A and B are shown apart, each in its own frame.
Chain A
Amino acid sequence: MRRAAFLEHVAWTGAGIAYSLGAGGLMAGRAVASASAQTVDFVQISDSHIGFHQAANPDVAGTLAMAVDAINALPSQPAFVVHCGDVTHLSTPAQFDDARAVLSRLRAPLIALPGEHDVLGNDFKPYLAAFKIPGSKPGGWSSWDAKGVHYVALVNVFDFEKMGMLGNDQLDWLAKDLVGVAPSVPVVVFTHAPLYALYPDWGWTTADGAAALALLRRFDRVTMLSGHIHQVLTHQDGNIVFASADSTAYPQPKPGTAAKPGPVTLPHDDLLHAIGYRTVRLGATPAFEDRALG
């Protein structure tokens, strides 16, 4: 990669720009990478938009395949790979087939949440046929325990005229699901759209996200990971560490820095530096490493 392009990318990732969000503040930019990470608990990918074919990325299947190859080459394989939604661009069966063809090459088990692009027409069937999470409820949400960690996958991509909703059924389920979990148990929550009001003007929020956050306050450590916004934003909110992830397809503008959200077209090398995957280690404090494809 040319140095000039690298510097341009540094400018793009733009650590240091702060957005106001409640008392905690919201930080933009990549989480600090820890190159010494030997073990990985799980890997997060998101927003592959299989079927997208515009200038911002003419080969979204190719860049997803690059991410899959990189994950498969990790020296320590993760327990699972979570895809935080928008696997497809237009939720057609053909796009789900193409996505499965690439993602089925992952060595680790895959858990794929739906994004709003995966349920167009409020039709859940193509997603469920391709990526239903084993044991999930009819609404698509689920929870499981592994190695002392309680994992929750939520669905907030229906009723999108309200900017994403969990709905009372899911919130009731979540309240019951968490009853038996001790406060000392680390909790990890996956969603597509952020539960925080990151930028409601662009739909980067969940209308009833605060109700879910309230249910998670009593735990010592909550890690909350989302996709949807095609960039890494991190936010510390008391016991909750939030981090959105890069896309595997194309970046979107930083909140409020463009007239509208949507695909940002970069030179190819810069694109590969603005998309990628995230490795996560859960320790006393969760460690994220956001790894670009180029």
Chain B
Amino acid sequence: MNRFFILVMAALLASGASAAAATTPQVVIRNDAFSPQTLTVTTGTSVAFVNRDDDAHTATAVDGSFDSKGIDTGGVWRHTFTKPGIYAYFCTLHPFMKATIVVKAAAQ
């Protein structure tokens, strides 16, 4: 069993899959704030927006390139960033909630 597990882990590490899964970037919403305020990822990364607040929120790009619509309490919304750029976003329900996702080109 142990040997099998190690083999599987080795295979996953070789493919990069487990490394990616372990580091899925998160933006946590709590007390009417996005955390971290600025998250930097590479293209192709899926970001999870996790609502741990007592009210509904959205993660909505100022440039309109993404919009979670309502993320209810306890809900998660995921978005994959495919183009490099600096994405300012906010909550349409609480417009004072603002944060930024920086997307850099993935190494070729």
Contacts and interface: CB of A to CB of B under 8 A. Distances in A.
Interface of A: 52, 54-56, 89-92, 116-117, 120-123, 160-163, 201-203, 259-263
A260 B31 contact: yes
Nearest to B93: A116
A54 B73 contact: yes
Contact of A120 (B53, B54, B69, B94): B69
A161 B91 CA distance: 8
Interface in B78-104: 90, 92-96
Interface of B: 31-32, 53-56, 58, 60, 62, 67, 69-70, 72-73, 90, 92-96
Given A89-B56, A90-B56, A122 B93 contact: no
28 contacts: A52-B56, A54-B73, A55-B54, A89-B56, A89-B70, A90-B56, A90-B70, A90-B72, A91-B69, A116-B93, A117-B56, A117-B70, A117-B93, A120-B93, A121-B67, A121-B69, A160-B93, A160-B95, A161-B92, A161-B95, A162-B95, A202-B94, A202-B96, A203-B94, A259-B31, A260-B94, A262-B32, A263-B54
Identify the interface centre among B53, B72, B92: most chain A CB within 10 Å of its CB.
Answer: B92
Contact of A261 (B32, B67, B92): B32
> Chain A interface secondary structure, helix, strand, loop or mixed?
loop
Contacts of A116: 92-93
A264 B96 CA distance: 19
A54 B54 contact: yes
Contacts, number: 61
Given A117-B56, A120-B58, A261 B95 contact: no
Nearest to B61: A161
A161 B90 contact: yes
B69 A90 contact: yes
B96 A262 contact: no
A262 B95 contact: no
Identify the interface centre among B53, B58, B93: most chain A CB within 10 Å of its CB.
Answer: B93
Given A117-B93, A120-B58, 20 more contacts: A54-B54, A90-B56, A90-B69, A91-B70, A92-B70, A121-B67, A123-B69, A160-B95, A161-B62, A161-B92, A162-B95, A201-B96, A203-B95, A259-B31, A259-B32, A260-B94, A261-B32, A262-B32, A262-B54, A262-B55
